[in-house]
A and B are shown apart, each in its own frame.
Chain A
Amino acid sequence: MGAMKLNERSVAHYALSNSPADHMGFLRTWGGPGTPPTPSGTGRRCWFVLKGNLLFSFESREGRAPLGLVVLEGCTVELAEAPVPEEFAFAICFDAPGVRPHLLAADGPAAQEAWVKALSRASFGYMRLVVRELESQLHDARQSLALHRHSSWKAIPSRCKPQAPDHLSRGLENGYALSRDCSSIGLAEEGGSRPAGSGLAECELQGPTNLLLGRGQSPVSPETSCFSTLHDWYGQEILKLRQGWLQRARGSQPECEEQDRP
């Protein structure tokens, strides 16, 4: 059997593109080309870039082509012992036969912690979970707003039109349309558009509207265009959800056939 094909040119183009990187930095690696199956020695220092669920390595920061790719699905990230006595090592471990852990080492404790966190959250499924939760929260917030429009707000105009979730998801299918919308919304703070003084503050809002932010807190900062920062913000509750999700995912059987090689 021949080697499996991959659209490598497109993958390399994506690696070098301006799409957001979730983390990057120098790491020592023991899994490079020509290395023995068992890690030994001091490893090779490479520039690593994490984009979504893909970890790319480059010879240097200015590298024009990725040296390697690790696909971060179905893996766990654990602290590890490097072959030589050194600190700050960790490993990407796969729950699949024949896939050895990727051993990596950072330059210091902060970098090690940052990498372990970033890699642990890098799976597509985890991102999907976060997005679904936000979608659900938005749906709930819109429903509660609709409820209050029909109760005590009769005289007060509202610019917010509750939309059905179906409309919302249809609107998102075409990635190009969405980009346009996002650029008009802008990724930065929209402080000026808040109708703070439009008489809404006088209303007594009870019940589900305490879903909303209290005490003038803004969830938005200019850095939240990058998922890592967004994630940190949505942080802890999502981590708990993810743990539950991972446990369920591990316990479930794959839907498709699992055949042994003939």
Chain B
Amino acid sequence: MRYNEKELQALSRQPAELAAELGMRGPKKGSVVKRRLVKLVVNFLFYFRTDEAEPVGALLLEHCRITQEEPSGFSISFIEDPERKYHFECCSEEQCQEWMGALRRASYEFMRRSLIFYRNEIQKMTGKVGMGHGSGRGWLVAWLTLCCPPHRTPWSSSAYRKRPGSS
């Protein structure tokens, strides 16, 4: 699969959600722990040799599972091969929990679920209070009224629902 390394390198220089020096061990059998500067940027985890400016590698964090590993460490594995784990060692339980929480939230899929969750919650609230009253002063009303077009969007077409690849 081709990708532009320079794109990812540029991304690795963006402001990070979290960054720290951690012990890291790759998934291959017999790999040893190495000190790495680990940096979470959007849904990518970059890892650098501690004295280098360009990352050694990156992990896309979609469909990943974060598991606590004793002591004060965690591992990242992916849905298609859950036993293949990237191990990380933290300096404290607190740091470990901080990283685990951040990594679990660091996927586009997580945000998509959050969006649906909040939308449903708002709907439940509006449902419970009944039909709205008032002059529509509220930001949410103007916003939703404005953005609920009666016409079909391109994304509603049946072609959009086809899945890529085949199972």
Complex: chain A residue closest to B121, CB-CB? A138
B141–A66 CB distance below 8 A: no
Total inter-chain residue pairs, C-beta < 8 Å:
350
B162–A205 CB distance below 8 A: no
A262 and B90 alpha carbons, distance in the complex (Å): 29
Most buried by B among A160, A210, A228: A210
A66–B146 CB distance below 8 A: no
Does A167 touch B at the CB level, under 8 Å? no
Does B33 touch A at the CB level, under 8 Å? no
B164–A21 CB distance below 8 A: yes
A110 and B101 alpha carbons, distance in the complex (Å): 41
Complex: chain B residue closest to A203, CB-CB? B130
Does B63 touch A at the CB level, under 8 Å? yes
Most buried by B among A5, A187, A190: A5
The answer, among A4, A58, A94, A174, for a CB contact under 8 Å with B104, is A174
The distance from the CB of A257 to the nearest CB of chain B, in whole angstroms, is 7
Does B153 touch A at the CB level, under 8 Å? yes
Does B163 touch A at the CB level, under 8 Å? yes
Once A5-B58, A210-B133 are accepted as A-B contacts, the answer to whether A219 and B144 lie under 8 Å apart by CB is yes
Please name all residues of chain B whose beta carbon is closer than 8 Å to the beta carbon of A111 when the two chains form the complex. 154
Does B71 touch A at the CB level, under 8 Å? no
> Do most interface residues of chain A lie in helix, strand or loop, or is the interface mixed?
mixed
Does B13 touch A at the CB level, under 8 Å? yes
Mask for B134-162, Cβ within 8 A of A = 1, else 0? Answer: 11111111111111110001111001101
Does A155 touch B at the CB level, under 8 Å? no
The answer, among A158, A224, A262, for a CB contact under 8 Å with B128, is A158
The distance from the CB of A226 to the nearest CB of chain B, in whole angstroms, is 7
A53–B132 CB distance below 8 A: no
B119–A210 CB distance below 8 A: no
Complex: chain A residue closest to B110, CB-CB? A175
The answer, among B7, B44, B147, B156, for a CB contact under 8 Å with A234, is B147
Most buried by B among A127, A196, A201, A257: A127
The distance from the CB of B122 to the nearest CB of chain A, in whole angstroms, is 5
Please name all residues of chain B whose beta carbon is closer than 8 Å to the beta carbon of A215 when the two chains form the complex. 131-132
A217 and B137 alpha carbons, distance in the complex (Å): 16
A254 and B14 alpha carbons, distance in the complex (Å): 6
The distance from the CB of B44 to the nearest CB of chain A, in whole angstroms, is 8
Mask for B41-67, Cβ within 8 A of A = 1, else 0? Answer: 011100000000111111110111000
Given contacts A63-B164, A226-B155, A228-B153, 5 further A-B pairs with CB under 8 A are A58-B164, A97-B6, A175-B107, A209-B132, A254-B14
* Cβ contacts A to B, 26 pairs, < 8 Å: A9-B81, A18-B163, A54-B62, A54-B108, A56-B164, A58-B164, A96-B9, A124-B43, A127-B111, A131-B118, A137-B139, A138-B125, A172-B117, A178-B114, A182-B116, A195-B128, A200-B128, A209-B133, A214-B132, A223-B156, A226-B155, A226-B160, A228-B153, A235-B146, A254-B15, A258-B13
